[in-house]
Amino acid sequence: MRKGALIGCGFFAQNHLHAWRDVDGAEIVALCDRDRTRLEETARRFGIERVYTDADAMLAAEDLDFVDIATTVETHRPLVELSASRGRHIVCQKPFAANLDDARSMVSAAERAGVMLMVHENFRWQSALRAARTEIDKGAIGTPFWGRVSFRSAYDVYKAQPYLATDERFIIQDLGIHILDVARFLFGDVATICASTRRVNPRIRAEDVATMMLVHRGGVTSVVDCSYASELPRENFPETLLEIDGSEGTLRLSAGYRMVVHNGGGTVDKDVSPPVLAWAERPWHGIQESVFNIERHFIECLESGRAPETSGRDNLETLALVEAAYRSAAEGSRSIAMAEFA
Ligand code: NAD
Ligand code: 89V
């Protein structure tokens, strides 16, 4: 049994803890939060007795295989470097780091310490998105040449995550990072990107709409579009929708988790709805299932010694896209070569 501790007992960490209870071969034995009230409430909810308000004290006192960092971004670098210096394997929430230099230092710290470092970049672990990738891998639409990865909503994300309304950066850094990672997952790494952003909601500080065009190294052109300002007749939060055209057919993942694959052999219309896990709640269930999937992947990687799909090193590519998108938007949607971030 791999013993872990969770740092940060806030909003999203509750999903981590529910999912860890379902992952074979892992157990969360200690919790840390510098907010004692949150710490104690969470400890009671999950029946975890060993609690700390200081991560260093916890790492010194506990015999742990791994730490799961579910704090907000500004604390990721110190907590990752601390955990690596104590020889613990690490899962760290997205955004992995506030900037690429920090992220590179975190990857180096883990590599020097010989510990596994995975970014909790969970969107690509949603079963509907994996079902789409399986169709591409099977060759159901031939060679993809164009794609759209789209997330448009007016869901009130600020209620549970108030920092999203006040942070200097919003939709690309918080949500676009997932959607850009899904574009990489489906179409591979990126040669150039351009972006435009805007703030529609006057009550928040940063951009809540972003449209990006990516030219992938393998030849696909994709559009990644994100909005938290789109009042639709049906609220699709938190579904990521896909349109993919290939040399032999097309794939569409539409609202309601409906996947349609069309090619010379006909049209197949499939319901790829995620399961609603026992502890999950609509509309978050697809995200909640992906938390379980990524945690299970982390433990499988620890057991096999394989690098996680969303390792710290892999995530440098996603984070570079975030930086490039902001740079492009600030420079009149200039096309940015990803080589600028090498
Ligand atoms: P939150 O503010 O609700 O919780 C963060 C908690 O961390 C707080 O309780 C805070 O007291 C604690 N904390 C901060 N620094 C600490 C430190 N040094 N030591 C101990 N405790 C510390 O935040 P949240 O909304 O739960 O978001 C946490 C992270 O999860 C963010 O990076 C966010 O982007 C990410 N998130 C991811 C998803 C997803 O689907 N992957 C969804 C929501 C949030
Ligand atoms: O995944 C996230 O980071 C969340 C949400 C899906 C609400 O944007 O902030």
CA of 165 to the centre of ligand 2 (A): 13
Q: Domain for residue 337, yes or no?
A: yes
Q: Is 19 in the pocket of ligand 1 (CB under 6 A)?
A: no
Q: Is 157 in the pocket of ligand 2 (CB under 6 A)?
A: yes
- Distance between CA atoms of 206 and 209, rounded to whole angstroms? 9
Give which of 68, 63, 58, 120 is closest to 89, Cα–Cα. Answer: 68
- Co-location of 133 and 271 in the same domain: yes
The ligand 2 atom at the shortest distance from the C-alpha of residue 178 is: 1
- Co-location of 216 and 329 in the same domain: yes
- Co-location of 70 and 199 in the same domain: no
Give which of 257, 178, 176, 247 is closest to 218, Cα–Cα. Answer: 247
Q: Which amino acid is at 292?
A: F
Q: Domain for residue 179, yes or no?
A: yes
Residue bearing the CA closest to ligand 2, atom 5 = 175
The ligand 2 atom at the shortest distance from the C-alpha of residue 177 is: 3
Number of domains in the chain: 2
Q: Domain for residue 139, yes or no?
A: yes
Domain with 106, as residue range(s), is 2-115
- Co-location of 204 and 324 in the same domain: yes
Residue bearing the CA closest to ligand 1, atom 9 = 10
- Co-location of 15 and 72 in the same domain: yes
Residue 266 gets which letter from DSSP?
Answer: E
The domain that contains 88 carries what CATH number? 3.40.50.720
- Co-location of 28 and 87 in the same domain: yes
Model pLDDT, residue 342: 85
Ligand 1 pocket test: which of 11, 181, 226 has the largest number of ligand atoms within 8 Å of its C-beta? 11
- Chunked mean pLDDT (size 10), the chain, 342 residues: 98 98 98 98 98 98 98 98 98 98 98 98 98 98 98 98 97 98 98 98 98 98 98 97 98 98 98 98 98 98 98 98 98 97 88
Q: Is 238 in the pocket of ligand 2 (CB under 6 A)?
A: yes
The domain that contains 129 carries what CATH number? 3.30.360.10
H/E stretch holding 296: helix 285-304
**pTM of the entire predicted model:** 0.98
Residue bearing the CA closest to ligand 1, atom 1 = 10
Q: Which amino acid is at 107?
A: V
- Distance between CA atoms of 93 and 276, rounded to whole angstroms? 22
Q: Domain for residue 150, yes or no?
A: yes
CA of 59 to the centre of ligand 2 (A): 28
Q: Which of 115, 138, 171 is the last residue in one of the domains? A: 115
Per residue, the 3-state secondary structure of 234-245, as one string, reads: CCCCCCCEEEEE
Q: Domain for residue 209, yes or no?
A: yes
CA of 206 to the centre of ligand 1 (A): 19
Ligand 2 pocket test: which of 161, 173, 288 has the largest number of ligand atoms within 8 Å of its C-beta? 161
241 in Cβ contact with 150 (< 8 Å): yes
Q: Domain for residue 207, yes or no?
A: yes
Q: Is 175 in the pocket of ligand 2 (CB under 6 A)?
A: yes
Q: Which of 63, 93, 115 is the last residue in one of the domains? A: 115
- Distance between CA atoms of 105 and 47, rounded to whole angstroms? 35
- Nearby residues of 222 by Cβ (< 8 Å), 6 or more positions away: 146, 147, 148, 149, 183, 186, 187, 213, 214, 216
Q: Domain for residue 17, yes or no?
A: yes
